[in-house]
Amino acid sequence: MSSPLLIFFFFAAVRGGTFNGYPKAHVILANSSCTNNPAGPLNPLPHQITCPPTVDDKTASSKRKQWSFSPICVSSLDPVVTSKLCTFTVSSLRGGPGMSIITTPVVAAQLSSTFQDPDIAWLEKQRQSRLAGDPRLPYEVKEIPGKSLGMVATRAIAAGESVLVELPVMIKIGDPSPWNRDAAVPVMIQAAKRLPAEDQARLLQMARQGGDKFIVDDIFITNGFFVSIAGVDHTGLFPEAARLNHNCKPNCITRFSQRTLALEVVAYRDIAPGEELTHSSPSSAPNA
């Protein structure tokens, strides 16, 4: 699938299946952490509502540590843009795969409760039951004539039925143009390199168009889903959902939950066994 969203065209190159390095640039390391709410999600504490940026835009320092690595940040050359662009990574999101997000500290701060809230875990049970190879999956990924890989129904799927719920392996801000290209390249590379090996492999197995584009940029162009986080446009990579091919008359829709960061694929109409699952692309994923 392709996304018309402005893509960060200077992302990482890959040689021999690994993420290639670039000349060093001036970046900022910062520590971060966040406090759980012992009262539970139904009784939010004031500090959760007004959570400060994960990395302060001026000092690049913080007291929270919900990330698996110290965020790496780069400043904008535009004096009007005061926010930094940072890479935030968790090696395992709520017991699932790892995830890297390339965004501003303000947006990352809004995700603090998402990463820390233990009550979200029960929402992941449905996702956990739909991992690749699960015999209960209502679809299989197979070769589609003229389309390479695609998703095909293995049984009848009713309209409104949830087909797949998946967490992203990477998310990046939609418009990275305010930040310096050369300085930001290492930040982007680290977003991929800091993922666990199995998640890097999933990333590299995603479809690409080829050509002279950097490989991860190519992956985002080919597979990215629009997602909105804290009112800011981003692009997410969901390796399994990316196997959905485009159709002007799709039989599935997608919706994104800002609370759980999961993308859900839902049957738009009744789908017969053996029918290919499709969605309309380009299209944003409506927020759930």
Determine the Cα–Cα distance for residues 210 and 94; give it in Å rounded to an integer: 34
Q: Give tens-digit pLDDT for 149-161.
A: 899 999 999 999 9
What does the pLDDT read at residue 161? Answer: 92
Residue 151 lies in a domain: yes
Cα dist. 34→109, 113, 115 in Å?
Answer: 9, 8, 9
CATH assignment of the domain containing 75: 2.170.270.10
Residue 239 lies in a domain: yes
Q: Pick 35 or 77 by higher pLDDT.
A: 77
Q: Does the pLDDT value for residue 187 go beyond 70?
A: yes
**Mean pLDDT score of the chain, rounded to an integer?**
75
Provide CB contacts within 8 A for 20, sequence distance 6+: 12, 13, 14, 189
Q: Give tens-digit pLDDT for 212-242.
A: 567 777 888 889 999 999 899 999 999 999 9
Residue 63 lies in a domain: yes
What does the pLDDT read at residue 188? Answer: 78
Q: Does the pLDDT value for residue 141 go beyond 50?
A: yes
Considering only CA atoms, which of 191, 200, 185 is closest in space to residue 88?
Answer: 191
Residue 285 lies in a domain: no
Residue 86 lies in a domain: yes
Q: Does the pLDDT value for residue 137 go beyond 90?
A: no
Residue 190 lies in a domain: yes
Residue 6 lies in a domain: no
Tell me, rounded to whole angstroms, the distance of Cα 86 from its chain centroid.
15
Residue 163 lies in a domain: yes
**What string of DSSP letters covers 42-103?**
TS--HHHHTPPPSS-TTT---S---SSS--EEE-BSSTT----EEEEEESSSTTS--EEEEE
Q: Is 148 left (phi over 0), alpha (psi -120 to 50) or beta?
A: left
Per the structure, how many domains does the chain have?
Answer: 1
